Every structure is written in structure tokens, then in C-alpha cells.
Chains A and B, each alone.
Chain A
Amino acid sequence: MQVNLRIRRFNPEKDSKAWWGDYTLDDVSRNDTVLDLLNRVKWEIDGTLALRRSCAHGVCGSDALRINGANALACKTLVSRLSSGAATAAIQIEPILGLRVIKDLIVDMEPFMDHYRSVLPYFINDSPPPADGRERLQSQEDRARFDDTTKCILCACCTTSCPSFWANEKYVGPAAIVQAHRFIYDSRDEGAADRLKVVGDTFGVWRCRTNFNCTSACPREIEVTKAIAEVKKVLATGEI
């Protein structure tokens, strides 16, 4: 099949503003991913196209893009999902929103990572280890409590799909709250109070408007809005 690809381009050394590049690709398989198409553009048509990619299998989270208007990972989005079955398909690709575009599809992830770091995304427990000196045991039920939020790959699909983040980049965003949730609900962790201080602040969970864009965008199918609501509930009731 044929794909008409529209890619948002911007080279800060040459362009004063972003523009649309149109590329036609023939002999595209319906099983190709959007990343395959972008690679073909870069390797066969225009080598100046800039994009991030690494594992190409939905694990590293580096190729989060806005595909046909909604956030997704390029390597996990099949052409078949974007076409109606006709011989020709149109696909539009833009960088994710709310972060500064460095070049073409590459955005500055530092503000996103700053929010990630702000919720103390690491295990905190200063109490002495168990008498046998081995691991701190946890029941299967306690582990299951935060299982979903351990799946995050920090691709930023959720945070950059959130209108509250578009409106104010100081908002910690869904991804950072998911990370906070992962440790707040970990029965072995003792840093919940410090994390709740960050996510309970003016630019924390209360900026969430419960519109579920983050849940729809997550390539790992994490129940993001649910995790945010659970953190809101902890803040409102004081009970974990």
C-alpha cells in the first residue's frame, strides 16, 4: 500500500517556524510500524530528519510522538491501526506537546525529567534491615497494590497529552505522579510523606482534570488516571 506521510519539521538553524514535510512511501506493509516509515524517510528520502529511537520494541520509550493527533509510541503503532483498509493511507506525525522542540521530532525532555526527579522516585527506608540481613519481605497482596505503576517507561506520552501540562509546565504531570504512586503504595517504603508533599502542592495532583487522555495515551496500558485519583484520595483522607 501507499502512505502519504506528513511530518512536522523544524530546524532551529534554518527555520523561523515549523513547517509540514510531505513524503510518499510505496510498498508499505500494513504490518509496518510508524517507526519503520520514519526510518525509510530518513534513510531513503531525507537524511536530515531528526528523531529519537532506540530499542524499537516499546521498551525504551524514546519514540513518543503525536501520531494522527494523539500521543503514541512510533514503534508500537502499526500502519494497519491508522488505515481504513484502503490502498492509500494518510499519516500525520508531530512532536509531543508542551516541551520545547529541539529539532524536527526531538523535544527537550529535561523539564519532564525534572518533574520525575522531584517526586523522589527511589526506595526510601532508613530503618535497619531484617535480622537475617536479607530482603524486606512483602506479601503478594502488598506487591499487587502498586504493580500497575511499576510498568512506566518514562516515554512522556501521558504527561504531554495532558491539557493541564500544556497550560502550565510547572504541573508535575501524570508520569511523575505514577512514579510517586509506585513508592507511596509500596508497603516497604517510608518516604510517602515527602512525596505527598510534592504531589499535594499547588502544581501537584490537584491540577488533574480527570479527562483520561493520559490513560488513553499510555503505551504500557497503565491505569494512569486511576493512579492519580488514588494519590488524590490519600491526600484527602490521609490513609494509604
Chain B
Amino acid sequence: MSTLALTIRESIRYRGRSGHWSWVAHRISGLAILLFLTIHVWDTANAHFYPHLYEWFVDIFKWPPIALGEIPLMAAVLYHAFNGIRISILDFKPELWKHQQRSTQITWGLFLVIFIPIAIVMFITMIQHWQHMGDAWMQFPRLSDYPPR
């Protein structure tokens, strides 16, 4: 009776408590990191095999819609790390289970305290970069501008 569709649908429909929603957030952030790492490994491999494609990709990453995506990526990395530590502690110290609800609140609090300043710094740095680019800031890098070397 188990299916992937059932698991995804019911993970959202099930009215679990804080531990359930932390688990959902952990899965989503984990998938976001996996997606980024896949793109990152492929893109970095291009530095060796197709250097012109690598340069094109680096400029695509600086294109505003993609660059802004780095902020939720940072959120995913931070949350996944903090929640992973929380789960490891609860697994190694089962006697702490009574504090699990508080531990999810602490994890979210710690995440927000660290993520918000980082997000602000990242956003300001991006704006400064786009100002430096002048009128071309929203222009999508064209592959034809990166000839093979």
C-alpha cells in the first residue's frame, strides 16, 4: 500500500505536531541541497572539460532571478544543519525526548537568528553587484558571448 505519491500527499495532510513539520522541513531542505549539489558538481566539472561553459554558468548564477535563489539555499543549508544536530542529539540521548517540542522551537529560533542577518548581508551584496553592472544587470548571459577556448 506504500507509494511515493501517498507519502508525499499524506506528509502534508497528516496533522502531526512540531516534530512532524520539522521532519517535512528537513526533507524539503535536504532535497533543495541535493538539487544544488547536483548542479554544482556538474557545473564545476565544466571548468575542466568546457571552460567557456563554466564561465557562462558562473555569470548565470549572478543573474538576479538565479542569484536570489541563493538566499533560500542558504536557509535550506542552515536549517538542515541545525535540525540534523537536533535529531542526532535526540537519537543519542533518548532520555531527552521530553524536551523534543522545545528542541524544535530552539532549532527554529537559532535558525532565524543566524539566517536573517546572513540573508540581509547577501541581499545587500547582490544589490551592490547589480548596481556595478549598470543597465545590463537584468540581461541574461548569452552563450554566444562565451566562445569555446
Residues of A at the B interface (CB closer than 8 Å) are 68-70, 97-100, 111, 161, 163, 165-169, 209-213, 215-216, 223, 225-227, 229-230, 232-233
Residues of B at the A interface (CB closer than 8 Å) are 1-2, 4, 6-7, 10-11, 13-17, 19-20, 22-23, 26, 87, 90-92, 94-95, 97, 100
Minimum-distance CB pairs A-B, first 4: A69-B15, A212-B19, A211-B23, A229-B94
For the A-B complex, the count of residue pairs with Cβ-Cβ distances under 8 Å equals 85
**Interface pair A213/B19, CB less than 8 Å apart:** yes
**Interface pair B7/A163, CB less than 8 Å apart:** yes
**Interface pair A212/B20, CB less than 8 Å apart:** yes
Further contacts, 18 of them, CB under 8 A, given A212-B100, A225-B100: A69-B14, A98-B2, A163-B10, A163-B23, A166-B2, A168-B2, A209-B26, A211-B23, A212-B19, A213-B19, A215-B19, A215-B100, A216-B19, A216-B20, A223-B97, A226-B94, A232-B91, A233-B91
26 contacts between A and B (CB under 8 A): A68-B15, A69-B14, A69-B15, A70-B14, A70-B15, A97-B14, A161-B16, A163-B14, A166-B11, A209-B87, A210-B87, A211-B16, A211-B23, A212-B17, A212-B100, A213-B19, A213-B20, A216-B20, A225-B90, A225-B94, A226-B95, A229-B90, A229-B92, A229-B94, A230-B94, A233-B91
